[in-house]
Amino acid sequence: MNLTQRILIGMGLGLALGVGFQAADLVSNDFIGAYVLDGAIDAGGKIFVTLLKMMVVPLVFVSLVCGATSLGATGSVGRLGGKTIGLYLATTALAVSLALILALVVDPGLSAADEQNGAVAFDAYQAKDAPSVKDTLINIFPSNPIQAMADGKMLQVIVFALLLGLALSRAGDAGSRIAGFFQDLNEVMMKLITMVIQLTPYGVFCLMVKLGATVGWVEIGKVLAYFLTVASALILHGLLVYPTLLRILAGVNPLTFLRKMREPMLVAFSTSSSGATLPVTLRTVEHRIGVNNNVASFAVPLGATINMDGTAIMQGVATVFIAQFFGYQLGVDALLMVILTATLASIGTAAVPGVGLITLTLVLGQVGLPIEGIGLIIGVDRLLDMLRTVVNVTGDGTVATIVANSEGQLDKETLRDPNAGAVAQVPSDT
């Protein structure tokens, strides 16, 4: 059985078991609740996510130093950076626009407000501090790179690795000696993440048991139209927009691409964190899709940090939903403002579970909608977070592939080979 099949089985079994516990009212049972759900299962899920997170800083740093060293030698950093950031912003703006159009057609807020006559119970949402655009900008630059690594500040780590790599490419013999060391270290890191990936079926099993046992399925019924609108926009973007872009801009067969992206997509779904998924995405984009390290090591971590198309989609639909529910009209200027702020908010959204809901306050505030409205949708956000994280991660892979192709850095042989970079059963043969 290949890894994807084993992950799917782990997910299915986990979900079934979790839902079973909830249906049989065993969640608060002394033994099941305390020892199984909050004990072994919780520990298993947390250890898996922690192992993934453990890989993020060392893998991204080492990989990007290697990438920047070879980019420095060709002098194409600026062009690559411009293209990558431009495409990330453009795909996000496209994502919010799609979400707004769909939400304005479906009118999810009107049905919730009318049918239930405003009776959807919700606790007023307490706004937390969302990062401002200015702070986000300043925070890109590290005053202390070691601190940035210790705090997991990815943009700062990216900037330091880029500069270090560029310096290595300009430092003659000394530079090439150190660059050689980083190349070796990069291979070892890739080996390590391959070993962690082998644990995925067990990790997602634990995460899914917990989800099945604790998610409030009833909540979804209350705001079903909203839930379905977000889910449809996410599916449309993932299965229509990205494939079209890949086909037109890179001449890549979208099915081959999506098939290879299955593992990061499943990890994103189970962890709700594009940050934790980053090591898996990076390995897949390089070794399975065939994007050269000098593009992948830059584009993928940057994407995981600033590119959140799925989050922007949720924010677009949520804005329309909340406006309709409270009886506000959104004019064309307000809609344009939503596109702009949701695109910027996506940059400031941390790649961890649930943050999209916090940066939604920025978007709502910008168009004068009541922030308490978030209380309406918070109950179903856990599941939508899983779905939108899949889109966030797929978007990173898509842009990395398109940029690599335009730079002549996409190895189509690797892309076409179904077994390229596949994770083998035995840890020692990658």
The letter for the amino acid at 267 is: V
Kindly state whether residue 152 participates in binding ligand ASP, applying the rule CB under 6 A.
no
| In the complex, minimum distance from the CB of residue 350 to ligand ASP, in angstroms, rounded to a whole number | 7
Element (H, E) at 265: helix 262-271
Closest CA to 66 of 336, 295, 385: 295
In angstroms, the CA 417 to CA 128 distance is 47
Which CB sits closer to ligand ASP, 36 or 278? Answer: 278
Q: Find the angle CA(127)-CA(130)-CA(136) to the nearest 5 degrees.
A: 175
Of the candidates 263, 271, 269, which has an alpha carbon nearest to the alpha carbon of residue 45? 271
Stretch that binds ligand ASP, among 1-9, 30-38, 189-197, 388-396 (CB under 6 A): 388-396
What's the token pair of residue 392? 């966030």
Between residue 86 and residue 105, which ones bind ligand ASP under the rule CB under 6 A? none
> Which residue, 339 or 350, is less far from ligand ASP as judged by CB?
350
DSSP three-state, residue 139: coil
Total residues at interface with ligand ASP (CB under 6 A): 17
Stated as kind and residue range, the H or E segment containing 300 is helix 293-306
Which of 222, 260, 288, 388: binder of ligand ASP (CB under 6 A)?
388
- Looking at the Cβ atoms of 200 and 311, the one nearer to ligand ASP is 311
Q: Which amino acid is at 328?
A: Y
Query: 161 or 355: whose CB is closer to ligand ASP?
Result: 355
Q: How far is the CB of 426 from ligand ASP (least distance, A)?
A: 31
User: Quick one: 97 or 281, whose CB is closer to ligand ASP?
Assistant: 281
Residue 214 backbone dihedrals phi, psi, to 5 degrees: -115, -15
Amino acid at 126: Q
| Residue 353 to residues 145, 260, 384, 390, Cα–Cα distance (Å) | 25, 24, 10, 12
> Whose CA is closest to 275, among 13, 101, 130, 60?
60
Select the residue interacting with ligand ASP from 69, 270, 392, 405 (CB under 6 A): 392
Read off the DSSP letter of residue 393. Answer: H
x/- binding map, residues 260-299, to ligand ASP, per CB under 6 A?
Answer: ------------xxxx------------------------
Shortest spacing between CB 236 and ligand ASP, in angstroms: 18
- Of 208-267, binders to ligand ASP (CB under 6 A) are none
**Nearest-CB residue to ligand ASP?**
356
Alpha helices of 107-171 — where are they, by DSSP H? 108-115, 133-138, 145-151, 154-170
Q: Are 324 and 113 a contacting pair, CB within 8 Å?
A: yes
Separation of CA 234 from chain center? 13
* Choice between 53 and 79, CB closer to ligand ASP: 53
* Nearest distance from C-beta of residue 277 to ligand ASP, angstroms: 8
Smallest separation (angstroms) from ligand ASP to the CB of 251: 28
- The answer to whether 385 contacts ligand ASP (rule: CB under 6 A) is yes
Kindly tell me which of 62 and 234 has the beta carbon lying closer to ligand ASP. 234
Give the three-state DSSP class for 120: coil
- Smallest gap from Cβ 391 to ligand ASP, in A, equals 9
Closer residue to ligand ASP (CB): 36 or 208: 208
**Minimum separation from the CB atom of position 425 to ligand ASP (A):** 29
**Residue ranges in 308-367 that form contacts with ligand ASP under rule CB under 6 A:** 308, 311, 349, 351-356
Least spacing, CB of residue 278 vs ligand ASP, in Å:
10
For residues 10 and 395, which CB has a smaller minimum distance to ligand ASP in the complex? 395
Cβ atoms < 10 Å from Cβ of 428: 7
Q: Which is nearer to ligand ASP, 356 or 421 (CB)?
A: 356
Q: Are 235 and 37 spatial neighbours (Cβ–Cβ below 8 Å)? A: no
d(CA 160, CA 142) in angstroms, rounded, equals 7
Interface ranges with ligand ASP (CB under 6 A): 272-275, 308, 311, 349, 351-356, 385, 388-389, 392
